[in-house]
Amino acid sequence: MKPFVWKVRVYWEDTDAGGVVYHSQYLNFFERARTEWLRGKGVHQATLATDENVLFAIRHMDIDFMQAARLDDELDVTIYNVVAGGVRMTFNQDMTRCSDRQLVATARLTAVCLQADNFKPTRMPQWIRAEIENAK
């Protein structure tokens, strides 16, 4: 699959008192990239929940922090190697500082498809799996 890249700028609100990105913000940056990747495939999560009673939740995530991102850094958040199963999707993501191309963090995660009204696992809609397969 061709990697998807989402640019993000580090703002003051993303950092601790020393101007270093607070560790939980990396999760937000990775999440925004996944949301925009899905949006680019025609998957609008609010509509998916209301019209198809389906939502995605993170089941598992492994993150490696390689280098600190800092105030005003521009970062490329990349998604590659997405695999969709019946209920699960796995994502690989990298975060790279644009100025020096240094790898800042990596993530591998599993998202599961749930029924929006009761949070029970459900099969992913076929049209979403088809969109993911077409990206390869």
Of 16, 51, 64, 117, the catalytic one is 16
pLDDT digits (tens, 9 = 90+) for 88-122: 999 999 999 999 999 999 999 999 999 999 999 99
Is 62 an active-site residue? no
Range of the domain at 52: 4-134
pLDDT digits (tens, 9 = 90+) for 13-49: 999 989 999 999 999 999 999 999 999 999 999 999 9
Q: What is the pLDDT of residue 2?
A: 87
* CA dist., res. 14 & res. 72, Å (int): 10
Q: What is the pTM of this model?
A: 0.92
Q: How many domains does the chain have?
A: 1
Instruction: Specify the CATH number for the domain of residue 99.
Output: 3.10.129.10
